Amino acid sequence: MKNNTTILTVITYAVLLSAVSILLNDLREFDLQQFKEFQNWAKTANKSENWFTSKNAIKWSYYAISTGLFFWRAYLIYGFTYFLSILSEVDKGHYFSDNNIKYFRKIGNIFIAYTINVLVLRFLLALIGKSSFNFFTEYKAEFTLLIPCALAFYLLAEIFKHAKETKEENDLTI
Amino acid sequence: MPIIVNLDVMLAKRKMKSKDLAETIGITTANLSILKSGKARAIRFSTLEAICKALECQPSDILEYVKE
């Protein structure tokens, strides 16, 4: 068991590091390619123009939403760090601990929050860019697979809760 | 819980120490302590049988039902 958890911990660390490096690279590319353009535009933007009806709103919203998308990706990576906490608990021999139940629920919450928020942000992006947004097309995207995953984690949390109660019952049977 | 464990009483009657009983019936002193303090949720028939054999008594001498 000890060896298995060590292997899983190493794999999780590798996945997390690659996810973080991809995110950082995307952030860098976003800055280099688009932020300079945005800065130039901001210098020349007509400041007397009404904010809500102008291009200003569209540009600012675009950057705000893009930042939001990066935030949610970082939040998803943070969610994956709970796997390390679970593995650490398992390594200590605390299989059915309260912490594990809490971590499973948290992962479920993070997956659901990520999917819903990214869907909303994509919808807003499509709205700003005046492009078409089809909910079902978006819903078919890979990231929505996180919803069944989240449900599976909620289920795991419930199973672990019952397992903990059964273990307690068993421990107090003399 | 309305079930009272009178193991202390029987141990006193038989002038036996908890540690000796735990060794005789093959459970840990920690578990015997859980049983004596009434914190146990259940008792196995095999444990009850071993206790009755060691203390030469009946299950009713150890377990008692008291209305709440």
End-to-end CA distance of chain A: 27
Within chain B, what is the greatest distance between any pair of CA atoms? 34
Helix axes B45-55, B18-25, angle to 10 degrees: 120
In the numeric block, the tokens 């009983």 are attached to B21
Per-residue pLDDT tens for A79-138?
999 999 999 999 888 889 999 999 999 999 999 999 989 888 888 877 776 666 666 666
| The predicted structure's pLDDT at residue A159 | 96
pLDDT, mean of residues A153-174: 93
What is the tens place of the pLDDT at every residue in A14-64? 999 999 999 888 888 776 566 666 667 666 766 666 655 556 666 677 777
Tell me whether residues A172 and B40 touch, CB distance under 8 A. Answer: yes
pLDDT of A131: 65
CB spacing of B43 vs A172 below 8 angstroms: no
| CA–CA min distance A169, chain B (Å) | 7
Which chain B positions have a beta carbon within 8 Å of A174's beta carbon?
27, 31-32, 34-35, 40, 42-44, 47
Expressed as residue numbers, the domain containing A94 is 2-171
pLDDT at A154 over 70: yes
Predicted confidence pLDDT, tens digits, chain B (68 residues): 688 999 999 999 999 999 999 999 999 999 999 998 888 889 999 999 999 999 999 999 999 998 87
**Spatial CB neighbours of A56, under 8 Å, sequence gap ≥ 6:** A45, A46, A49
Q: Which residues from B are below 8 Å from A169, CB to CB?
A: 41-42
The dotted CATH code for B3-65 is 1.10.260.40
Which residue does chain B place closest to A167, by CA atoms? Answer: B41
Query: Cα(A130)–Cα(A119) distance, rounded to whole angstroms?
Result: 16
Q: How many domains does chain A have?
A: 1
- What lies within 8 Å, CB to CB, of B57 at 6+ separation is B10, B14, B51
Burial of B11 (0-12, 13-18, 19+ CB in 10 A): buried
Q: Residue A128: what residue type?
A: I
Q: Where are the domains of chain B?
A: 3-65
Q: What's the pLDDT at A17?
A: 94
Name the residue facing A172 among B27, B39, B47 (closest C-beta).
Answer: B39
Q: Does A165 touch chain B (CB under 8 A)?
A: no
Cα-only R_g, chain B: 11
Instruction: Give me the interface pTM, i.e. the ipTM.
Output: 0.79
pLDDT at residue A124 in the model: 80
Q: What are the beta bridge partners of residue A173?
A: B42
